[in-house]
Amino acid sequence: MIEHRPLASRIRHIAISPTMQVAIEAGRLKAQGVDVVDLGAGEPDFPTPAHIAEAAREAIASGFTKYTANMGTAELRAAIIHRYREDHQVEYGLDEVIATAGGKQALFHAAMALFGPGDEVITHTPGWPTLAEQVTLAGAIPVRVATTADTGFALTADLFLSAVTPRTRGIILNSPTNPTGAILEAPEAERLATEAGRLGLWVVIDLCYDRLVYDHQPHDLPRIFGAVMRDRLVICGSASKAYAMTGWRCGWMVASRDVVAAANALQSHETSNVNSVTQKAVVVALTGPQESVSEMLAAYQARRDQLLAWLSVEPRLRCVTPKGAFYLFPDVSAFLGSGLPTATDFAQKLLRDEFVVTTGGEGFDAPGHIRLSYAASLDRLREGATRLIRFARAQVA
């Protein structure tokens, strides 16, 4: 007899992150020795810079391997504060910062601490699915507003404000955005901050890619929002993308004391402190030389430009130039049809036929698109572009 074991209701509507599914499939093929071009990964292909890794070795050698304060060492929290002071001229206290297991946990704590049943929380599409899923896990209702390719997926104040109802409790935005690379520009940020402040809404900003903005464009959301609605602002950041430290698992929340205290209470019953060795490494990442960040940024920008150039030979693959992060989000709808109805079908067949890993836009609430990560070498990008174009043309031949 099959035992009936119902899971809790909160889990019924949650699916594994689509980007993680892609990683599993790519890993399976690679293990079989297939020449896979992996443009699916949401992580830097660079190694963690040597001086950062060295700090971790020293931490182990000196026995820094015990529990630390739940919210992270004072040294790490001071390093996070230092970075925001240097980069955005904002000032926070040690009790306004908590180190978390990646930006993901900071965002989860924000959702759990701020939102609950009956609350509407506005977020944007195309977008990273975790943001809305976490709102659902908190029991609140994610309200998705759509950015579109014809405006470069621009995030605007009006877009968010048009969805405000009496039940709206907050806004969660991700800039630069995964998967479009769009950013919230200063005038829009100023207007949104003013209006959200007036309406008494929480604004959670996911700045996990904020060190990866191209063409020297200003991107100063902590200062802009902090100037008018600091007590309702929750900044979530991460060492993962800027310092090529995805596996180390360190992010942070910077917010008012009561929000950080709530996150600290949650974390004390979940995961406790971030890995002690990681904390030592992240102190060096944040306070040490920042050249590696600029070098990686320059490499991503060169790859972005090159990939756009390679793909431009097939104009039916319509691309918007990303302003940040390391993803391209082409519209592949010209190649869809009865045999290949969705972008996810496109991505799956592309993997089967040409061994190129991408992610279908449906996972980002954006049908008709696929996401390509250009955190890959120029050689692999050239090969991936060649195979992608060959595959796309074969679908309409």
- The contact set with ligand PLP (CB under 6 A) reads 42, 102-104, 128, 174, 178, 206, 208, 238, 240, 246, 251
CA-CA distance, 29 to 229, in Å (whole number)? Answer: 49
Nearer residue to ligand PLP within complex by CB, 125 or 178: 178
Residue nearest to ligand PLP (CB): 102
Provide the minimum distance between the beta carbon of 339 and ligand PLP in the complex, in angstroms, as a whole number: 31
144 in the Ramachandran plot: left (φ > 0), alpha (ψ -120 to 50) or beta? Answer: beta
- Smallest gap from Cβ 244 to ligand PLP, in A, equals 11
The answer to whether 235 and 263 are in contact (CB under 8 A) is no
The total of other beta-carbon atoms located within 10 Å of residue 350's CB is 26
For the bound state, the minimum distance from the C-beta of residue 132 to ligand PLP, rounded and expressed in Å, comes to 12
Closest Cα partner for 374 from 212, 219, 220, 215? 212
User: How far apart are CB 236 and ligand PLP at their closest, in Å?
Assistant: 7
Distance CA 210, CA 165 (A): 29
Of 178 and 359, nearer to ligand PLP (C-beta) is 178
Could you tell me the smallest distance in angstroms from the CB atom of residue 140 to ligand PLP?
18
Q: Which is nearer to ligand PLP, 104 or 124 (CB)?
A: 104
Q: How far is the CB of 327 from ligand PLP (least distance, A)?
A: 9
Query: Smallest distance from the beta carbon of 173 to ligand PLP, in angstroms?
Result: 10
Q: Tokens standing for 82?
A: 């230092």
Residue 319: name the closest of 327, 307, 331 by CA: 331
Task: Write down the residue that tokens 């904020």 correspond to.
Answer: 210
3-state class of 71 per DSSP? coil
**Choice between 375 and 392, CB closer to ligand PLP:** 375
Q: How far is the CB of 255 from ligand PLP (least distance, A)?
A: 16
Question: Contact, 88 vs 223, CB < 8 A?
Answer: yes
Judged by beta carbon, residue 195 or residue 362, the one nearer ligand PLP is: 362
User: How far is residue 124's CA from residue 182's CA, in Å, rounded to a whole number?
Assistant: 11
How many whole angstroms separate alpha carbon 258 and alpha carbon 113? 10
Residue 364: strand, helix, or coil:
helix
Q: Which is nearer to ligand PLP, 156 or 359 (CB)?
A: 359
Of 202 and 243, CB closest to ligand PLP: 243
Pick 182 or 336: Cβ nearer ligand PLP? 182
Q: Which of 152, 105, 164, 165 is CA-nearest to residue 126?
A: 152
Of 71, 70, 54, whose CA–CA distance to 62 is shortest? 54
CB 56, min distance to ligand PLP, A = 17
Q: How far apart are CA 271 and CA 99, in angstroms?
A: 11
User: Looking at beta carbons only, is 36 or 282 nearer to ligand PLP?
Assistant: 282
- Rounded Cα distance between 302 and 328, Å, is 13
